[in-house]
Each structure stands twice: as C-alpha cells, then as structure tokens.
C-alpha cells in the first residue's frame, strides 16, 4: 500500500444502512465507550464491513479501513519518511492518523497480516493504548475516540494463519453469520429495490444453498450475492439468468456441483 495513494483508506460514508440481527450495535457502542477493541468474525458478505461503517457513522467517528494482506508492513500502517521536494518528511499511516484523531481503525482480514503488524497492535489494544513509532521515537497516546476493530473469516483459516492468543485475547469478539430470512429479506429489498414478493424466493434459495456448505461448497452464498441477484432482476434481467450469474457461478467451477445447485433452483422456482 502506498501512503501517497491510500486506496484502502476511506472516510466513513455519510450514511450506511444496517439492520441489526441482535445486540451487536449495543455491544459495539459499549466497547467504544469503554475503549475496548472489537474483533468481528464471520463468513464473507454477511455485513461486517457495513456494520463498522454504520457504527462509525452512529458514533460520529472518522473511519480508516485497511485491507490486510501478507505484504502489508508495519510501516504501511504506521507511516514512513518520504522525499517531498528535496526534503524528507514523515507521513502518518492510517493507524497513526486514527490514533491521533480519535478515529476508528478497521483492519479487514486481520489474519492475513504479518506478525510484525500484529505485534504493533499489542500496546494499542491493552490498557496502555499507546502507539510506539520507532522511526520517529514518538510514543503516541491514543486520543479518546480511538478504537481498533478487526475482522476475519474463520472459514478460511489454516494453521499458519490464526491469530496468536496474545493478540486475540486483547479484543472482545462478536460473531456474525448470514441474517435469518426475516432479516435478510428486508435487507435485500432495501439494497436492491426489488419487491418483497420477488426477494423471498431468492432468500429461500440462498438458505438452501447454504445448507450445502461443507459438503459441496466451501462457503455458503453471501448476502452480498443475493443483493447482486436481486439488483440484476430489479433492472430487468430474467430471474434464471440473474440467479445463475450471481448465485451459482460465483460459488463453484465444478460442473457436477453446479448441476446440483441448479436442482435447488428448480426446487424453489419450479
Ligand atoms: N444487516 C445488514 N444490514 C444491511 N445490509 C447488509 C446487512 N447484512 C448484509 N448486508 C448487505 O450485504 C453486503 C455485504 O456486506 P459486507 O460488505 O459488510 O460483508 P463483509 O462481512 O464485510 O464481507 P467480507 O468478509 O467479504 O468483507 C452489504 O453491501 C449489504 O448490502
Ligand atoms: Mg468486508
């Protein structure tokens, strides 16, 4: 990640619709008030990022999102010296900016981060709440509104990519899953503009497809994909085609598995 072109860093959108499925908003607000970091666990496309955007908005904090990957270094998060017009100037990374401004820093897919990155988080995520910046010799105390949020998908974990207990036990953790139908239907209606009567069978199909997780499918179909299918239908695509491109093809490349999935489509749509 280049500090000059912080593609992964974004300020919170002005408004973000989020339909709670439990007490997650209350827990998150309590964590923020008590200066506790939060870890969100859940499958892809179930609403983690949307939830953080929504909460940043509700708590009126700026949000810096960093997509973690195994090339991301501590300097990408903290900052580095850059040459500007013949002078060397220090440029804060997203984590340092969040610490100074009292913002929310959201580390997406934190298990992908290298060890040197997770170690940087330790003094920030216990009661010290400080960020040591070795390069400048600074030790920055986090401003009051600062909060660290991290997320990961436990489904993709392998033995090499787990968080150390000393890291994970610095966070309170909220488990996310796909919304129950009575929540997913209004979410998809709102996100796609498709009417409820046509969203209902899509959500029924999604739940049937999710039943195949672990047998034929690595991951169940996400709410994100259901929203895609509904959006395509709302703009005129025939249901069958929209379901195929948004809810079947993204799940598998295996022709036999695909046939099995199409049987489920027939079972729902007749
Ligand atoms: N409770 C919800 N309220 C509103 N929208 C939701 C909710 N749950 C899911 N969505 C919808 O699902 C889409 C995907 O959610 P989001 O991007 O937050 O997933 P994620 O859990 O961050 O996935 P990933 O792990 O792949 O980053 C959102 O864009 C939104 O349309
Ligand atoms: Mg996300």
- CA separation for the pair 219, 101 (Å, rounded): 38
Supply the pLDDT for residue 104. Answer: 98
Spacing, Cα 80 to ligand 1 middle (Å): 33
3-state secondary structure of 201: helix
How many angstroms is it from 41 CA to the middle of ligand 1? 13
Give, using CA atoms, the residue closest to atom 4 of ligand 1: 18
The minimum-distance atom of ligand 1 relative to the CA of 109 is: 25
Task: Look at residue 82 in the predicted model and tell me its pLDDT.
Answer: 93
Residue numbers in the chain where pLDDT is lower than 50: 1-14
State the Cα–Cα distance between residues 105 and 149, nearest whole angstrom.
Answer: 6
Is the pTM higher than 0.85? The answer reads yes
pLDDT, residue 37, reads: 96
pLDDT in tens, 222-237: 999 999 999 999 999 9
11 close to 63: Cβ distance less than 8 angstroms? yes
Q: Which residues surround ligand 2, an ion (CB under 5 A)?
A: 49
* Ligand number with the minimum distance to the CA of 46: 1
pLDDT at 166: 86
| Cβ contacts of 54 within 8 Å, gap of 6 or more | 16, 17, 18, 25
Residues enclosing ligand 1, CB less than 6 A? 17-19, 42, 44-50, 153, 179, 187, 191, 223-224, 227
Give residue 12's pLDDT. Answer: 39
């Amino acid at each position: 990640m280049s500090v000059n072109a912080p593609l992964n860093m974004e300020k919170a959108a002005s408004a973000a619709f989020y339909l709670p499925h439990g007490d997650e908003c209350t827990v998150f607000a309590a964590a923020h008030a008590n200066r506790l970091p939060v870890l969100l666990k859940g499958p892809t496309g179930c609403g983690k990022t949307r939830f953080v955007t929504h909460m940043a908005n509700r708590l009126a904090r700026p949000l810096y999102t960093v997509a973690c990957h195994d090339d991301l270094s501590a300097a990408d998060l903290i900052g580095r010296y850059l040459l500007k017009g013949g002078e060397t100037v220090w440029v804060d990374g997203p984590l340092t900016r969040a610490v100074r401004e009292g913002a929310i820093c959201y580390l997406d897919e934190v298990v992908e981060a290298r060890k040197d990155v997770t170690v940087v988080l330790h003094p920030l995520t216990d009661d010290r709440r400080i960020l040591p910046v070795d390069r400048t010799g600074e030790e920055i105390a986090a401003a009051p509104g600062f909060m660290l949020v991290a997320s990961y998908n436990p489904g993709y974990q392998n033995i090499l990519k787990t968080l150390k207990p000393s890291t994970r036990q610095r966070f309170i953790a909220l488990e996310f899953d796909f919304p129950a139908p009575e929540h997913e239907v209004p979410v998809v209606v709102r996100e796609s503009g498709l009417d409820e009567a046509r969203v209902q069978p899509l959500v029924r199909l999604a739940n049937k497809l999710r039943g195949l997780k672990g047998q034929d499918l690595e991951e169940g179909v996400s709410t994100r994909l259901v929203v895609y299918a509904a959006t395509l239908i709302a703009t005129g695509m025939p249901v069958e085609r929209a379901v195929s491109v948004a809810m079947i093809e993204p799940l598998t490349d295996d022709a036999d598995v695909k046939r099995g999935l199409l049987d489920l489509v027939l079972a729902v749509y007749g």
